[in-house]
Amino acid sequence: MMRQVFSKPEKLVVYKNEFFHEIDNLGINSLPIIAIISFFMGAVITIQAAFGFTSPWVPIYAIGFTARDSMVLEFSPTMVSLILAGKVGSNIASEIGTMRVTEQIDALEIMGVNSKAFLILPKVLACVLINPFLIIMSMFLGILGGFIMGVFTHVVTAYKYIYGIQYQFNSFNITYALIKTVVFAFIISSVSAYQGYYTEGGALEVGRSSTKAVVYCSILILVFNFLLTQLLLA
Amino acid sequence: MIELRNINKHFGERHITKDFSCKFEQGKTNLIIGESGSGKTVLLKCMVGLTNVDSGEVLYDGQDFLKMSIKEKQNLRKEMGMLFQGGALFDSKTVEENVTFPLSMFTEMTVEEKAERANFCLSRVNLKNVNNLYPSEISGGMKKRVAIARAIANSPKYLFCDEPNSGLDPKTSILIDKLIKEITLEFNITTVVITHDMNSVMEIGDKVVFICNQQKWWEGTNENILHSDNKELGDFIYVSKFLKELRDKQP
């Protein structure tokens, strides 16, 4: 299937338009939910860190340090990808699945269009390209949420928090997070598209395909999270 | 011309077609009729390659479609238009985008030329001022007509229609039938229509093929179908008491 997905497009202009449509549909439309979740998750991590660090031996700036590393290493790339697996994955599977059961994919095939490439390639490329931006935004908003809520609830001063997020900063952590994000984006888009494309039956099966897409994507994300962490950080 | 030779298809233990052979001529509306579940749609899907056949040959002007590579099939399909039972219009595209889609994919037409062609095709199916509407905003009959407009947009050599007037009122059904007939004559295309509507048979059936017991049971024109002495065909046509009485009154 993947060989046909990555075969030469019939008309580049049409694929380009589809690609930008998918950037908007799968990426830009996911911004609000990711922004809200990341902001509050950063705030909660900060308050929880402050609550846990009761020993006088642990410096206060460790709160900022913890918030930064939690967001960069795990929450933004993995947890947000899991959230995207639910939102984007089900969207892709149900959209393509509905096209399958309403014969829209057959209509594409009859016109001589490579339906696999036309439907899946723009989605995969859009996800792989836009998800890293979403994750970077999630990191920023998570750390910002921790700052605002930490200062607002007086668990940390602005100076100590900013010092903490700069303390022992390792730029490879960002690279590691982005590598994970790209792999997860590919998993989300390709697995969901596969589930949708091979839907058979009616509306009930479209729902099942959508559920299966989310479950398989989530499991694969967790497995690859472990493998990539072992490969890149161990 | 399309020729089917000894087409066999079965799903598991269930046979759909057995040694089906037939010729569909250019410039004629060829109708395949039969009861629901007799395998008409599967046969049509076998003809266009949406379903694989178990054995047999599908010849398009002498070229065996089943032996073609994926690329060759895609090239041949650019000469096909198909009207699906539910229309199969792209939900996310407007009526005009649906009609111009094959043109965008396979021609170098400008936006203005595509719009002009879309307007021509839509006017050909008696639709006006619907260009910017989405499929969810138009009626079932209009969807069918948009699907016909999309099917003829790229000037196909072969037109396939799967129950074009199912779910439509008699007036709209006849309108769709007439459209198919006119388009077939106007563009000299090979049209194959799947139906179980006798009005369609009498209206546009240049050639009629009756499927029964997974086989080609009868073949003829709409002029001689009513006088056929084939029992199964008679049972299919004269299903109501009214029609049976009408037949008995015939000289």
ipTM: 0.85
Q: Calculate the average pLDDT of chain A.
A: 92
- Assigned domain for B149 exists: yes
| Structural domain that includes position B113 | 89-155
In this structure, the answer to whether residues B226 and B196 fall within a common structural domain is: yes
Percentage of residues in chain B having pLDDT higher than 70: 95
- Of the candidates B161, B167, B120, B117, which has an alpha carbon nearest to the alpha carbon of residue B142? B167
B124, B104 Cβ separation under 8 angstroms: no
Q: Which amino acid is at A159?
A: Y
Q: Please tell me the distance from the alpha carbon of residue B146 to that of residue B81, in angstroms, as a whole number.
A: 12
Tally helices (H) and strands (E) across chain B.
9, 10
In this structure, the answer to whether residues B99 and B221 fall within a common structural domain is: no
In this structure, the answer to whether residues B104 and B220 fall within a common structural domain is: no
In this structure, the answer to whether residues B18 and B96 fall within a common structural domain is: no
- Percent composition of chain B: helix, strand, coil (DSSP 3-state, to 5): 40, 25, 35
Number of domains, chain B: 2
Q: Please tell me the distance from the alpha carbon of residue A209 to that of residue B46, in angstroms, as a whole number.
A: 26
Q: Please tell me the distance from the alpha carbon of residue A82 to that of residue A66, in angstroms, as a whole number.
A: 21
pTM equals: 0.86
User: Is A109 within 8 Å of B50 when comparing Cβ atoms?
Assistant: yes
Percentage of residues in chain A having pLDDT higher than 90: 79
In this structure, the answer to whether residues B174 and B232 fall within a common structural domain is: yes
In this structure, the answer to whether residues B113 and B231 fall within a common structural domain is: no
Burial class of residue B182 (count of CB atoms within 10 Å of its CB; 0-12, 13-18, 19+): middle
In this structure, the answer to whether residues B167 and B219 fall within a common structural domain is: yes
In this structure, the answer to whether residues B73 and B163 fall within a common structural domain is: yes
Q: Which of A102, A112, A114 sits opposite B88 (nearest CB)?
A: A102
Residues of B in contact with A110 (CB under 8 A): 48, 50, 77, 80-82, 160
How far apart, in Å, are the Cα atoms of A170 and each of A63, A73, A132, A145, B125? 17, 11, 18, 21, 66
- Assigned domain for B84 exists: no
- Of the candidates B168, B216, B240, B249, which has an alpha carbon nearest to the alpha carbon of residue B33? B216
User: Is B91 within 8 Å of A109 when comparing Cβ atoms?
Assistant: no
- Of the candidates A67, A76, A24, which has an alpha carbon nearest to the alpha carbon of residue A155? A67
Band (A16; pLDDT cuts 50, 70, 90): very high
Inter-chain Cβ pairs, chain A and chain B, closer than 8 A: 62
In this structure, the answer to whether residues B174 and B207 fall within a common structural domain is: yes
A25, A124 Cβ separation under 8 angstroms: no
A154: left (phi over 0), alpha (psi -120 to 50) or beta: left
To test the contact with chain B by mutation, choose from A110, A116, A119 the residue with the greatest count of B C-beta atoms within 10 A, namely A110
Structure confidence by residue, pLDDT tens digits, B195-221? 888 888 888 888 889 888 888 888 888
Band (B38; pLDDT cuts 50, 70, 90): confident
Residues of A in contact with B158 (CB under 8 A): none
B148, B176 Cβ separation under 8 angstroms: yes
Structure confidence by residue, pLDDT tens digits, B104-115? 988 888 999 999
Residues of B in contact with A103 (CB under 8 A): 84-86, 88
Band (B242; pLDDT cuts 50, 70, 90): low
